[in-house]
Amino acid sequence: MTATTAAPTESEDERLAKQATWKRIMRRPELGAMAGALLVLAFFLVAASGTGMFSPAGIMNFMEVSAQLGILATAAALLMIGGEFDLSIGSMIGLAGIIIAVPVVEYGWPLWSALLLAFACAMLVGWCNGYLVNRTGLPSFIVTLAFLFILRGLAIGGCRLLTGRTQIGGLQPHIAHDWLAPLFSGEVATGVFAWMAAHGWIATNFAGNPVVTGIPVSIVWWLGLTALATWVLLFTPYGNWIFAAGGDANAARNSGVPVRRVKISLFMFTALSATVFASLQVMDTGSADTIRGMLKELEAIIAVVIGGALLTGGYGSAVGAALGALIFGMVQMGIFYTGVNTDWFKVFLGAMLLIAVLFNNFVRKKMMEAR
């Protein structure tokens, strides 16, 4: 009896420490998305082996799909953590594309001025969304749903009024030499890839050029925005205010957090991210179309939720959203590579969303259990 009473105190302490570490890991929002990403990766490593999905070109392929969604998801994640949605980002993509393309092609504006105009309009749209949500107290679901239609209508109506069409092509010659163009088009680190090809590390084509010539600039945007958002959330006062505004706006206000300003700036950020998306797409394809970006708002929300954010706000992470976008890209391209009819992609996506939400609820309950 006396021998056993002395020993447990030490082993008990040890067990407590272990549990604390475990709890700390469990508390990270991106845990589920990390597990999900690994699972999806493992699945396609087996199912799509030998198809070229994991060749350098294949990897760039699904990374680019992930990157485009990831740019939207990062901003959507911050907004969702801040307690709101933005359903208007898909329409903002279409509108921003038109605002960039029409002045350049129809009126001969220099590209940079059209880009500036698009970003200015995005900030205005974001501000309107945020102001109306704050002012009216309506759910952001309703306010931004209204803007989903308003912006789409503005894009189609405005484009047809000015040009008589709803699609604008032929941007390529206008954007080739603009000083702002490299920000949204082309690839980076091309030298590194040429060097790797010269050393035989990556495959080359018949002309001796590497099959992958560089990292698409969209991936750089994605990683950059994710890093920035993570820094903001974890290490700035503003990041703390985002969590607070989403966790309980009243409590935050009582503690002196400028909740209105935080929310308006987050709505502006989602509109800006949609414009970045549109800029990348317009430069990449050399055209704009009024119906671009449809359903992107929902895809972004899916990525964010798979990434571990709570729909009710106050909890989530940018890294999680990035992982959510990565899962999205891997599944979308992976289904194509495995030869399964791509019609099934959406079934898979919906199922993933359900599983993610159930898992998130489970994690939150665990978190709130007594120590």
Using the Cα atoms of residue 193, residue 199, residue 202 and residue 204 in order, give the sign of their dihedral: positive
Q: Is 318 in the site for another protein (CB under 8 A)?
A: no
> Whole-number minimum distance, CB 116 to another protein, in Å?
23
Binding of residue 261 to another protein (CB under 8 A): no
| Amino acid letter, residue 192 | V
Length of the chain: 371
Give me the 350-369 binding string for another protein, x by CB under 8 A, dash otherwise: --------------x--xxx
Q: Give the separation between CA 61 and CA 63, rounded to whole angstroms.
A: 5
Which of 20-28, 30-38, 160-168, 352-360 is the region at the interface with another protein (rule: CB under 8 A)? 20-28
| Six-digit token string for 225 | 């925005």
> How many of the other CB atoms lie within 10 Å of CB of 268?
21
Q: Note whether 20 binds another protein by CB under 8 A.
A: yes
Report the distance separating Cα 36 and Cα 43, nearest Å. 10
260 near another protein, rule: CB under 8 A = no
Beta bridge partners of 215: 188
Indicate whether 23 belongs to the interface with another protein (CB under 8 A): yes
Per DSSP (E only), the strands in the chain are 167-168, 187-188, 215-216, 288-289
Q: Does 247 bind another protein (CB under 8 A)?
A: yes
Are the C-beta atoms of 133 and 84 separated by less than 8 Å? yes
What is the smallest separation between the CB atom of 134 and another protein, expressed in angstroms? 15
* Interaction between residue 10 and another protein (CB under 8 A): no
- Report phi then psi at 134, rounded to 5: -65, -45
Question: Which range touches another protein (CB under 8 A), out of 15-23, 113-121, 156-164, 269-277?
Answer: 15-23
- Helix (H, G, I), strand (E, B), or coil: what is residue 238? helix
Q: Does 314 bind another protein (CB under 8 A)?
A: yes
253 binds another protein (CB under 8 A): yes
Using rule CB under 8 A, residue 341 touches another protein: no
Is 250 a binding residue for another protein by CB under 8 A? The answer is: yes
Binding site for another protein (CB under 8 A): 16, 20, 23-24, 27, 231, 235-237, 239-241, 243-244, 247-248, 250-257, 310, 314-315, 364, 367-371
